[in-house]
Amino acid sequence: MVRHTEAMFFSLTLRTDPAVADPAAADPAAAGTDAVATDAAEVPAAAAADAAAAEAVPTPDARDLGHLLHKHPDRVHEQKLAFGTARVFYPEADHDSCTAALWVEVDPVKLSQLSSFRRDSFSLSGYINDRKWAASSLLAVALRRVFSTAMAGTLTSRPALPRQEFALEATIAAVPAAQPEIAALFEPLGWEVDCDSEPATADTVTPQVTLRGRSTVQALLNQLYVLIPVLDGGKHYWVDESEIDKLLDRAGSWLGSHPQREPIMRRYLAEQRSYVRTARTRLDARVTERSEAAAPRSEGTGTPDSDGEPPTPAPLRARRLAAVLDAIRRLRPRTVVDLGCGEGALLGPLLDDPRMARVLGTDVSPSELERARRRLGLDRMPARKAARLELFQSSLGYVDDRIAGVDVAVLMEVIEHLDPADLTTAETTVFRHAAPDHVVVTTPNSDYNVLYPDLDGMRHPDHRFELSRAGFAAWAERICVEHGYVVDFHDVGDAHPDVGPPTQMAVFSRRFDEALRDDTQTEGAA
Amino acid sequence: MSAIHVPDLSLVVLVGISGSGKSTFAARHFGPFETVSSDFCRGMVANDPNDQQATAAAFDLLTDIVSRRLRVGLLTVVDATSLRPEDRAALVRLARENDVLPCAIVLDVPLQTALERHRTRTDRPFDESVLRKQHAQLRKGLSRIGREKFRGVTVLDSDEAIADARIERTPLRSDLRDRTGPFDIIGDVHGCLPELEQLLTELGYRVSADGTGARHPEGRTAVFVGDLVDRGPDSAGVLRLVMGMHAAGDALCVPGNHEAKLVRALDGRNVTLSHGLEATMAQLQRGTEAFRREVRDFADSLVAHLVLDEGRLVVAHAGLKEEFHNRASGRVREFALYGDTTGETDEFGLPVRLDWAADYRGDAMVVYGHVPSPRAEWVNNTLCLDTGCVFGGQLSALRYPEKEIVAVPAQKEWYPPVRPLDSSATGEANRPLRIDDVLGADAVETSRGGRIRVAPERAAAALATMSRFAMPPELLPYLPPTMAPAPTSHEEGYLEHPRTAFGYYAKRGLRVICEEKHMGSRAVALLVRPGAHVTAPAWAPQHTEADTRPGAAPYPDTSAVTEAEADTGGVLSSYVYTRTGRAFFADEEASARFAHGAAVIAEVAGLFDRLDSDWVLLDGEILPWNLKAQGLIDELYRPAAAAGLAETQAVGDALRRAEARGVRVLEREKTPDPTDVASPAASWTREQWEELSAFRAAVERYVDEAGEPQFAVFQVLASAGRTWHEEPHDWHLEVADSLVAAAGRSVSSGLAAHPPATGASATAAGPCTPLFLKTRRVVLDPADATQVEQAVDWWVDLTSSGGEGMVVKPLENSRAGRDPGRVQPGLKVRGKEYLRMIYGPDYDRPERLTGLRSRNLKHKQSLALREYALGLESLDRAVAGEPLHRVHLPVFAVLALESDPVDPRL
In the predicted model, is pLDDT for residue B619 greater than 70?
Answer: yes
Chain A residue with minimal CA distance to B435? A398
Using an 8 Å CB-CB cutoff, list chain B residues near A76.
663-665
pLDDT at A505 over 90: yes
| Whole-number pLDDT of residue A418 | 93
A residues 235-294 lying closer than 8 A (beta carbon) to B: none
What is the reported pLDDT for B554? 34
Is B432's CB within 8 Å of A471's CB?
A: no
Kindly determine whether residue A482 and residue B347, on different chains, have CB atoms separated by under 8 Å.
Answer: yes
Whether A116 shows a pLDDT value over 60: the answer reads no
**Residue A91 confidence (pLDDT):** 94
Please say whether the beta carbons of B900 and B862 come within 8 A. no
Interface test with A, best of B321, B436, B651 (most A CBs within 10 A): B651
**Quick one: average pLDDT of A194-214?**
85
Q: What percent of chain B has pLDDT over 90?
A: 59
Q: Is residue B438 part of a domain?
A: no
> In this predicted structure, what is the pLDDT of residue B759?
39
Look at the alpha carbons of B795, B797, B800, B802 in this order and tell me if their dihedral is positive or negative: negative
Give B372's contacts in chain A (Cβ within 8 Å): 525-526
Q: Are residues B375 and B257 in the same domain?
A: yes
**How much is the pLDDT for B563?**
36
Q: Å from B277 to nearest chain A CA?
A: 11
Q: Where are the beta strands (DSSP E) in B62-216?
A: 76-79, 101-107, 152-156, 167-170, 175-176, 183-186, 206-207, 214-215
pLDDT at residue A262, as a whole number: 87
Residue-wise pLDDT for B775-792, tens only, equals: 999 999 999 999 999 999
Give the CA distances from residue A458 to residues A446, A455, B143, in Å, rounded to whole numbers and listed in that order.
Answer: 8, 7, 80
Condensed to tens digits (0 to 9), the pLDDT of residues B43-88 reads 999 998 888 888 899 999 999 999 999 999 999 999 999 999 999 9
CATH of the domain at B12: 3.40.50.300
- Asked if B306 and B350 sit in the same domain, the reply is yes
* Same domain assignment for residues B601 and B650: no
* β-strand partners of B185: B223, B398
Higher pLDDT, B477 or A269: B477
pLDDT digits (tens, 9 = 90+) for B835-850: 988 887 888 888 889 8
The pLDDT value recorded for residue A131 is 52
Percent of chain B with pLDDT over 70: 90
Report pLDDT digits (tens) over A141-157: 899 999 998 998 888 88
Q: Is the pLDDT of residue A201 over 60?
A: yes
Q: Is the pLDDT of residue B758 over 90?
A: no
Rounded to an integer, the average pLDDT of B495-505 is 96
> Does residue B36 lie in a domain region?
yes
For the stretch B333-356, pLDDT in tens is 999 998 876 555 544 444 444 578
Of A122, A127, A423, the CB nearest to B905: A127
**Amino acid letter, B695:** F
pLDDT at position B638? 85
- Higher pLDDT: B748 or B152? It is B152
Let me know if residue B333 belongs to a domain: yes
* The total number of structural domains that make up chain B: 4
Yes or no, beta carbons of A400 and B899 under 8 Å apart:
no
Question: In the listed set B147, B170, B193, which residue is the last one of a domain according to the structure?
Answer: B170
DSSP string spanning A39-85? Answer: -GGGHHHHHHHHTTSSSPPPPP-TTHHHHHHT--TTS-EEEEETTEE
Asked whether residue B153 falls in the same domain as residue B184, the answer is no
A76 interface with B at CB cutoff 8 Å: yes
- pLDDT over 90 (residue A119): no
Question: What's the pLDDT at B284?
Answer: 92
CA A333 and chain centroid, separation: 37
What mean pLDDT comes out for the span B171-182?
Answer: 93
Cross-chain CB nearest to A423 (options B370, B558, B670): B558
Instruction: State what percent of residues in chain A have pLDDT above 90.
Output: 45
Looking at residue B536, its pLDDT comes to: 83
pLDDT digits (tens, 9 = 90+) for B504-533: 999 999 999 999 999 889 999 999 999 888
Q: Say if B857 falls within a structural domain.
A: no
- Rounded mean pLDDT of B849-860? 89
CB pairs A-B closer than 8 Å: 280
**pLDDT greater than 90 at residue B183:** yes
pLDDT exceeds cutoff 70 at B101: yes
**How does pLDDT run across B221-260, given as a tens digit for each residue?**
999 999 999 999 999 999 999 999 999 999 999 999 999 9
Same domain as B208, residue B141: no
Identify the pLDDT of residue A8.
84
- Lowest-pLDDT choice from B75-89, B173-187, B676-690: B676-690
The parent domain of residue B648 ranges over 629-701
Which residue does chain B place closest to A462, by CA atoms? B468
Q: Do B200 and B112 share a structural domain? A: no
The least confident of A518-522, B35-39, B375-379, B694-698 is: A518-522
pLDDT at A120: 35
- State residue A30's pLDDT score: 40
Q: How confident is the model at residue B691 (pLDDT cuts 50, 70, 90)?
A: confident
**Do the Cβ atoms of A244 and A152 come closer than 8 Å?**
no
Q: What's the mean per-residue pLDDT of chain A?
A: 79
What's B298's domain CATH number?
3.60.21.10
> Model confidence over B704-722: pLDDT tens digits?
777 789 999 999 999 999 9
Asked, for residue B16, whether it belongs to a domain, the answer is: yes
Residue A38 banded pLDDT, cuts 50, 70, 90: very low
To test the contact with chain A by mutation, choose from B273, B280, B430, B435 the residue with the greatest count of A C-beta atoms within 10 A, namely: B435
Closest approach of A526 to chain B, Cα-based (Å): 5
pLDDT confidence of residue B749: 63
Tens digit of pLDDT for each residue in B636-679?
788 888 888 888 999 999 999 998 888 888 865 454 555 555 67
pLDDT of residue B816: 87
pLDDT over 70 percentage in chain A: 76
Superfamily (CATH H level) for A316-510: Vaccinia Virus protein VP39 (3.40.50.150)
C-alpha span between B780 and B512 (Å, rounded): 6
Which CATH topology does A7-237 take? c-terminal autoproteolytic domain of nucleoporin nup98 (3.30.1610)
Q: Residue A274: what residue type?
A: S
A274-302 residue pLDDT tens: 788 888 888 887 766 554 444 333 333 33
pLDDT digits (tens, 9 = 90+) for A17-28: 654 444 444 344
* Residue A206: closest C-alpha in chain B: B643
Question: Which tops the pLDDT comparison, B542 or A440?
Answer: A440
Least confident range from A82-91, A103-112, A349-358, B538-547: namely: B538-547
- Considering only residues A490 and B753, tell me which one the structure prediction assigns the higher pLDDT: A490
Q: Confirm whether B819 is domain-assigned.
A: no
Q: Is residue B415 part of a domain?
A: no
Closest chain B residue to A432, measured at CA:
B346
Chain A contact for B841 (CB, 8 A cutoff):
yes
User: Which residue from B434, B565, B691 is facing A398, i.e. has the nearest CB?
Assistant: B434
pLDDT of residue B328: 92
Task: Return the pLDDT at B682.
Answer: 85
Q: From the CA of A331, how many Å to the nearest CA of chain B?
A: 22
Q: What confidence score (pLDDT) does residue B672 get?
A: 53
**Selected residue with higher pLDDT from B477 and B698:** B477
Give the angle subtended at the CA of B475 by the CAs of B471 and B481, to the nearest 5°: 80
Residue A72: how many CB atoms within 10 A of its CB?
Answer: 14
- Measured in whole angstroms, the distance separating CA B355 from the mean position of its chain's CA atoms is 19
Domain end (from B376, B409, B442): B409
Task: List C-alpha distances in Å: A447 to A452, A453, A502, B638.
Answer: 11, 13, 8, 39
Confidence at residue A308, expressed as pLDDT on a 0 to 100 scale: 39
The amino acid sitting at A116 is S
Q: Do A236 and A131 form a contact (C-beta atoms < 8 A)?
A: yes
Residue B757 confidence (pLDDT)? 39
Per-residue pLDDT of B285-297, as tens digits, reads 998 999 999 999 9
Chain A: residue whose CA lies nearest to B372? A526
What local confidence, expressed as pLDDT, does residue A17 receive? Answer: 63
Q: Quote the pLDDT of residue A127.
A: 52
Regarding whether B228 and B114 lie in a shared domain, the answer is no
B 270-289 near A (Cβ less than 8 A): 274-275
The long-range contacts involving B528-532, CB below 8 angstroms and separated by at least 24 positions, are: B528/B572, B528/B573, B528/B574, B528/B599, B528/B614, B528/B615, B529/B599, B529/B602, B529/B603, B529/B608, B529/B613, B529/B614, B529/B615, B530/B596, B530/B599, B530/B600, B530/B603, B532/B608, B532/B614, B532/B615
Contacting residues of A for B573, CB less than 8 Å apart: none
The yes-or-no verdict on residue A524 having pLDDT over 50 is no
Mean pLDDT of chain B: 87
Domain-embedded: residue B800 = no
Is the pLDDT assigned to residue B764 strictly greater than 90?
Answer: no
pLDDT for A118 beyond 50: no
In A, minimum Cα distance to B473 occurs at A397
Q: Examine the pLDDT at A53 and tell me if it is beyond 50.
A: no
Q: Give the pLDDT of residue B421.
A: 57
The residue from B170, B196, B215 where one domain ends is B170
Summarize the confidence of residues A236-265 as an average pLDDT: 82
Residues B687 and B726 in one domain: no
Number of C-beta neighbours around residue B49 at 10 A: 17
pLDDT at A516 over 80: no
